[in-house]
């Protein structure tokens, strides 16, 4: 009996082992094997882009192939969902739309090349919370990968690439040759349960990843690269979204690495949808003319409960930056940031209450933004030009600012006025160099608050899914 059961468990162990070895081998095998990935849902049905006439030669347009593949696979939404595999190759494509209960898997050797032919980019109406296009008062080009009114969508890969080929758009923008707002690489609207992970985004025409009016969004393992002088190539822009988790991203760009938004002036106020319950972890940012994390400037629907930790910024203009203006209305409150490392920064802390740019003259000049409950702690910075530039709104100060345990090393030729504060209120504790009089040092040593509870988006469990190819 005993022998028998011992023998049986040995057998079980052996078969588990061989299964493991087989999986490891097939993971490394590439073509002919099986690849695993992590996702919020796995899919019952699988298709390759080539099943729908896709050609990966870098020259043939695959817009039709993507659209017919996704139209076809959308019929499986209520039957276990479907995954579309983009195999190794160069796949030129214009804009296409996603569907629900769907995974787009971009293979390690696959590159989606964004078409430079404007006729491949449909026009969309302006966003209701903006009232106009961001670049120009006209409409906007659809994003390369667009989804609206969806649930349960995954865009992932083994670090496959989406190349926006943005140069031509940057030139047109600089030459004021566009009547419509440039496309983004990925935009998801009015949707929930979204995952965007383990892909590389290159040279977007404008913003890279724009979830808007959506909830339950997981963004993991993105590499986002654009020239540091490219216009408006923001990394990730959560906009009027609830429950978003952004982790393990590496971003080099010409604009803010992460820009948190919620609509623009009177349009954002009327739409009234905040960005809230946002987690940002383990972000590395390089952006010499912009912020690591910007809050605003479009924040008229409100921004609250943002938790950022373990952030690295190198050669970046500022750390966390609050951008707002009279006319915005809305609020930025309950912001928590801890454990930031910064190297070669113009500003560590920057808040601006006079950030211009209004959608049109119809904004309400009496709409004052509330900026309160801003908590920064446990930061080290070196080679800094200005420790802080904190500019609130006259007769309407930014309040509840708390900064603790921050050590700032200065450049060889630092500015004399290291903490330039106007119209702000708050406290500091163990901050070097010492802060301004408006942020007095607390007598009793204080740590600024950082919430320790988990948000619902922290409890999302990923499943192991497979791609056979
Ligand atoms: C992304 O890739 C990393 C490294 O290969 C892996 O550990 C992680 O599980 C992946 N995440 C997702 C969401 O696919
Ligand atoms: C689309 O789906 C149907 C099943 O409804 C299938 O028979 C057909 O072959 C699919 N089209 C392509 C091009 O794979
Ligand atoms: C994608 O969706 C948008 C918005 O619903 C729509 O205007 C556009 O025509 C769709 N594109 C395709 C190819 O179906
Ligand atoms: C998408 O959802 C929004 C908000 O619920 C709604 O106003 C809009 O009509 C929906 N669009 C489509 C195409 O279903
Ligand atoms: C993904 O690809 C980019 C660009 O080639 C590279 O810089 C990055 O290190 C890669 N990431 C991973 C996790 O392999
Ligand atoms: C932009 O609009 C102007 C004035 O309506 C028009 O002359 C021009 O051709 C348009 N440009 C493009 C690229 O559509
Ligand atoms: C102060 O911040 C540094 C850098 O993040 C950290 O290593 C240290 O533990 C913090 N000290 C306290 C008392 O929290
Ligand atoms: C320090 O910052 C200055 C810009 O203020 C830069 O030119 C210099 O290279 C940086 N030094 C180091 C060691 O990174
Ligand atoms: C201090 O900040 C104010 C408002 O942002 C600005 O106008 C002023 O030039 C700054 N002063 C110095 C010495 O940097």
Q: Which residues contact 115 (CB under 8 A, 6 or more apart)?
A: 61, 63, 92, 93, 94, 121, 165
Q: What is the pLDDT of residue 468?
A: 77
Residue 92: closest CA among 68, 111, 106: 111
Q: What is the pLDDT of residue 21?
A: 42
The residue whose CA is least distant from atom 6 of ligand 6 is 179
CA of 253 to the centre of ligand 6 (A): 29
Q: Of all atoms in ligand 7, which is nearest to the CA of residue 339? A: 5
For the chain, give the mean pLDDT: 94
CA distance 402 to 436: 13
Q: Give the model's confidence band at 396: pLDDT under 50 very low, under 70 low, under 90 confident, else very high.
A: very high
Specify the DSSP element, H or E, that contains 248: strand 242-252
Residue 297, classified by CB atoms within 10 Å of its CB into exposed (0-12), middle (13-18) or buried (19+), is buried
Q: What is the pLDDT of residue 24?
A: 42
Q: Is the CB of 68 under 6 A from ligand 3?
A: no
Q: Which ligand is nearest to the CA of 103?
A: 1
Tally of CA atoms within 13 A in the half-sphere of 47 that contains its CB: 21
Q: Is the CB of 67 under 6 A from ligand 3?
A: yes
Q: Which residue do the tokens 């971009």 mark?
A: 106
Pocket of ligand 5 (CB under 6 A): 159, 200, 223
CA distance 62 to 93: 5
Q: Give the model's confidence band at 12: pLDDT under 50 very low, under 70 low, under 90 confident, else very high.
A: very low
Residues 108-162 pLDDT 10s: 999 999 999 999 999 999 999 999 999 999 899 999 999 999 999 999 999 999 9
Q: Which residue do the tokens 């938790």 mark?
A: 307
Q: Is the pLDDT of residue 11 over 60?
A: no
How many angstroms separate the most distant Cα atoms in the chain?
Answer: 87
Q: Of all atoms in ligand 4, which is nearest to the CA of residue 148? A: 1
CA distance 456 to 463: 17
CA distance 161 to 223: 9
Q: Give the model's confidence band at 1: pLDDT under 50 very low, under 70 low, under 90 confident, else very high.
A: very low
Q: Which residues contact 250 (CB under 8 A, 6 or more apart)?
A: 222, 223, 224, 283, 284
Q: How many CB atoms lie within 10 A of CB 77?
A: 16
CA of 391 to the centre of ligand 9 (A): 8
CA distance 48 to 55: 11
| Beta carbons of 287 and 319 less than 8 angstroms apart | no
Residues 284-303 pLDDT 10s: 999 999 999 999 999 999 99
Q: Is the pLDDT of residue 16 over 90?
A: no
* Tokens encoding 340: 């930031």
CATH code 2.160.20.10 region(s) in the chain: 39-233
CATH homologous superfamily for 39-233?
Single-stranded right-handed beta-helix, Pectin lyase-like (2.160.20.10)
Pocket of ligand 9 (CB under 6 A): 389, 391, 417, 420, 422
The residue whose CA is least distant from atom 3 of ligand 4 is 190
Residues across the chain:
469
Q: Which ligand is nearest to the CA of 341?
A: 7
CA of 121 to the centre of ligand 7 (A): 49
Residues 66-105 pLDDT 10s: 999 999 999 999 999 999 999 999 999 999 999 999 999 9
CA distance 226 to 257: 11
Q: Which ligand is nearest to the CA of 386?
A: 9
| Beta carbons of 117 and 144 less than 8 angstroms apart | no
The residue whose CA is least distant from atom 2 of ligand 1 is 198
For ligand 3, pick from 52, 94, 139, 146 the residue to mutate: most ligand atoms within 8 Å of CB.
146
Q: By percentage, how much of the chain surpasses pLDDT 70?
A: 93
Q: Which residues contact 383 (CB under 8 A, 6 or more apart)?
A: 343, 344, 345, 409, 410, 411
CA of 122 to the centre of ligand 3 (A): 7
Residues 229-259 pLDDT 10s: 999 999 999 999 999 999 999 999 999 999 9
Catalytic residue ranges: 255
Q: Which ligand is nearest to the CA of 223?
A: 5
The residue whose CA is least distant from atom 6 of ligand 2 is 72
For ligand 2, pick from 72, 76, 78, 99 the residue to mutate: most ligand atoms within 8 Å of CB.
72
Q: Of all atoms in ligand 2, which is nearest to the CA of residue 68? A: 13
CA distance 138 to 407: 46
User: What angle (nearest 5°) sits at the alpha carbon of residue 329, between those of residues 323 and 332?
Assistant: 50
Q: Of all atoms in ligand 2, which is nearest to the CA of residue 52? A: 13
Q: Is the pLDDT of residue 402 over 50?
A: yes
* Tokens encoding 223: 């590499």
Q: Is the CB of 148 under 6 A from ligand 3?
A: yes
Q: Is the CB of 352 under 6 A from ligand 7?
A: no
What is this structure's pTM?
0.93
Strand partners, 388: 349, 419
Residue 133: closest CA among 191, 94, 165, 178: 178
Specify the DSSP element, H or E, that contains 68: helix 63-73
Q: Which residue do the tokens 């996702």 mark?
A: 39
Q: What is the pLDDT of residue 469?
A: 61
The residue whose CA is least distant from atom 9 of ligand 5 is 223
CA of 97 to the centre of ligand 3 (A): 6
Q: Of all atoms in ligand 2, which is nearest to the CA of residue 72? A: 1
Q: How many CB atoms lie within 10 A of CB 360?
A: 12
């Amino acid at each position: 009996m005993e022998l028998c059961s011992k023998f049986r468990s040995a057998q079980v162990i052996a078969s588990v082992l061989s299964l493991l070895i087989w999986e490891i081998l097939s993971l490394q095998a590439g073509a002919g094997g099986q690849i695993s990935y992590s996702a919020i849902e796995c899919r019952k049905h699988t298709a390759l882009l080539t099943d729908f006439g896709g050609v990966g030669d870098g020259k043939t347009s695959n817009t039709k192939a993507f659209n017919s593949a996704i139209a076809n696979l959308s019929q499986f939404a209520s039957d276990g969902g479907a995954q579309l595999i983009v195999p190794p190759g160069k796949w030129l494509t214009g804009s296409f739309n996603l569907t629900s209960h769907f995974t787009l898997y971009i293979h390690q050797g696959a590159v989606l090349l964004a078409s430079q032919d404007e006729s491949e980019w449909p026009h969309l109406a302006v966003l209701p919370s903006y009232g106009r296009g961001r670049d120009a008062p006209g409409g906007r080009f659809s994003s390369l990968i667009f989804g609206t009114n969806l649930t349960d969508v995954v865009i992932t890969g083994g670090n496959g690439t989406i190349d926006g080929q943005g140069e031509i758009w940057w030139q047109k923008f600089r030459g004021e040759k566009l009547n419509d707002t440039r496309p983004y690489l990925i935009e998801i609207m009015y949707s929930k349960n979204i995952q965007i992970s383990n892909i590389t985004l290159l040279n977007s025409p404008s913003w890279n990843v724009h979830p808007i009016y959506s909830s339950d969004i997981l963004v993991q393992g993105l590499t986002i690269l654009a020239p540091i002088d490219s216009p408006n190539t923001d990394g990730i822009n959560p906009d009027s979204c609830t429950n978003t988790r952004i982790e393990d991203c590496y971003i080099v760009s010409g604009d803010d690495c992460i820009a948190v938004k919620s609509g623009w002036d009177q349009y954002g106020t009327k739409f009234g949808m905040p960005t809230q319950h946002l987690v940002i972890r383990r972000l590395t940012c390089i952006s010499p003319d912009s912020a690591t994390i910007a809050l605003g400037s479009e924040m008229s629907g409100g921004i609250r409960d943002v938790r950022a930790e373990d952030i690295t910024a190198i050669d970046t203009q500022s750390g966390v930056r609050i951008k707002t203006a009279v006319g915005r209305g809305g609020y930025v409150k309950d912001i928590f940031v801890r454990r930031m490392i910064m190297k070669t920064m113009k500003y560590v802390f920057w808040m601006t209450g006079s950030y211009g740019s209004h959608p049109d003259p119809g904004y309400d000049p009496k709409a004052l933004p509330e900026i309160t409950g801003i908590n920064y702690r446990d930061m080290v910075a070196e080679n800094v030009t200005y420790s802080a530039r904190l500019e609130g709104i006259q007769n309407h100060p930014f309040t509840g600012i708390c900064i603790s345990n921050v050590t700032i090393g200065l450049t060889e030729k630092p500015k004399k006025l290291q903490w330039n504060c106007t119209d702000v209120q708050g406290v500091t504790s163990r901050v070097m160099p010492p802060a301004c009089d408006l942020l007095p040092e607390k007598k009793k040593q204080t740590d600024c608050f950082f919430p320790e509870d988990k948000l619902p988006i922290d409890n999302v469990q990923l499943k192991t899914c497979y791609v056979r190819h």
